[in-house]
Amino acid sequence: MPGHTIVTMPGDGIGRIVLNESLRVLDAAGFSAEYVHADIGWEFWKKEGNPLPQRTVDLIRKYKTGLFGAITSKPKEEAANELNPELRDKGYVYSSPIVGLRQLFNLDVSIRPCKTYKGNPLNFIRRGKNGAIEEPEVDVVIFRQNTEGLYSGVEWTNPPDKVYEAFLTHPRFKKNFGQVPREELSISTRIYTYKATRRILEAAFRYARNNGYRSVTLAEKPNVIRETSGMMYRLAREIQAGQYPDIELWNTNIDAQMMWLTKNPEHYGVIVAGNMFGDIVSDGFAGLIGGLGFACSAQFNDEGIGIFEPTHGSAPKYAGYPVSIVNPIAMIESACMMLDFLGEKETATRIRKAIATVIAEGKVRTYDMLKLSGSPAVINRGAASTQQMTDAIIEKL
């Protein structure tokens, strides 16, 4: 059977640990692929002054599918101080390689599923009628626009002449900010384009239809942010009416959505939002299903490139433990999303069932699932190691 070729980017800290665990699971599930290692992260910043070497970019462009662990990022000054001495003061400026990947490949569609596993002690619970404890089953998939909006980096403090003058032409700017000394003004723009907004909306509706969800919820703020959120809502209505009359469009305000997700999270299916609101709402839902040990993600562009990663970072303080304690499930779930992308849905389903069985049985639990605070001692207090959790999943396959 001709295998796939996958670019593996372990990165830093626990990224290296969990990525390797996900490969063990893929192997055990009979997934056939060739893995090509690619350098990314702190080590390459220090050694080469570039955490995202060109050779890594070339590999992704060539093979199109990337499995990513996590990287360590640090503020600019700290980063500059950690450069190898011969590279210092040569004009190298640190920037996050994962943000770099998003921009370079225009990975504009980000997907973050948040599904409850039965028996996970970290599941959200609430008090129901008569004080009964209820455990709603969350099954939400968040579509986050990944490249524009408030995170696009078009911003100024003490804006230059032409920008300032342009802003002054807006009556509200003039009235409310026209008297503020220019050097005391910080401006971050929120830019939405029709093309990218349409793409994230269409991806959300398509996913809803293909996966049996009855609704798509737009979580923005069109009543206040009239231009960007307003445009997104208008396009959402157009797309729904024109192509997806079988799927309901719900419109919620992001602030109210954050309240409702702790009241009735089971009511929501597919959620779609711009960059920052998508970031916020996906962390909110991830908290209901177990947090960082369970939160997986995928990001795509319109040329068939997909990169799959847990949403957690490199957790450096846990990276050097003699026995690793971190939960590999977020990474293994991300690998399952990669399998979906590669058309290997059956294998993905088997792995997800194996994870579900291990969690439901409750015999093997990492420290986060036992609500312990992380330290090497958790192993002696009954927590499974990273490898033991992976082994348990493999055993169920």
Q: Where in 83-102 is the site for ligand NAI (CB under 6 A)?
A: 98
Radius of gyration of the chain (CA): 22
Q: How many residues bind ligand NAI (CB under 6 A)?
A: 18
Cβ–Cβ under 8 Å, residues 330 and 14: no
* Minimum CB distance to ligand NAI smaller for 231 or for 370: 370
Q: How far is the CB of 117 from ligand NAI (least distance, A)?
A: 15
* Minimum CB distance to ligand NAI smaller for 97 or for 222: 97
User: Per-residue string for binding with ligand NAI, 350-369, x by CB under 6 A?
Assistant: ------------------x-
Task: Enter the tokens of residue 197.
Answer: 């907004």
Q: Is residue 33 helix, strand or coil?
A: strand
User: Residue 279 binds which entry of Mg ion, ligand NAI, none, with Cβ cut-offs from 5 to 8 Å by kind?
Assistant: Mg ion
* Minimum CB distance to ligand NAI smaller for 114 or for 208: 114
Span near Mg ion by CB under 5 A; candidates 187-195, 254-262, 275-283, 335-343:
275-283
Q: Where in 329-348 is the site for ligand NAI (CB under 6 A)?
A: 330
Q: How far is the CB of 170 from ligand NAI (least distance, A)?
A: 36
Q: Where in 55-84 is the site for ligand NAI (CB under 6 A)?
A: 70-73
Cβ–Cβ under 8 Å, residues 18 and 9: no
| Backbone CA torsion sign across 165, 170, 172, 174 | positive
- Per CB under 5 A, the list member of 12, 279, 340, 344 interacting with Mg ion is 279
Distance CA 338, CA 6 (A): 10
Q: Is residue 115 helix, strand or coil?
A: strand
User: Residue 313 binds which entry of Mg ion, ligand NAI, none, with Cβ cut-offs from 5 to 8 Å by kind?
Assistant: ligand NAI
* Minimum CB distance to ligand NAI smaller for 312 or for 352: 312
Cβ–Cβ under 8 Å, residues 148 and 103: no
Residues contacting residue 358 through CB under 8 Å, at least 6 positions apart: 364, 389, 392, 393, 396
User: Per-residue string for binding with ligand NAI, 259-298, x by CB under 6 A?
Assistant: ---------------------------------xx-----
Task: Enter the tokens of residue 172.
Answer: 């509200």
SS (H, E, C) 131-200: HCEECCCCEEEEEEECCCECCCCCEEECCCHHHHHHHHCCHHHHHHHCCCCHHHCEEECCECCHHHHHHH
Question: Using CB under 5 A as the criterion, which residues of the chain lie in contact with Mg ion when the complex forms?
Answer: 279
Binding site for ligand NAI (CB under 6 A): 70-73, 98, 292-293, 309, 312-316, 326-327, 330, 368, 374
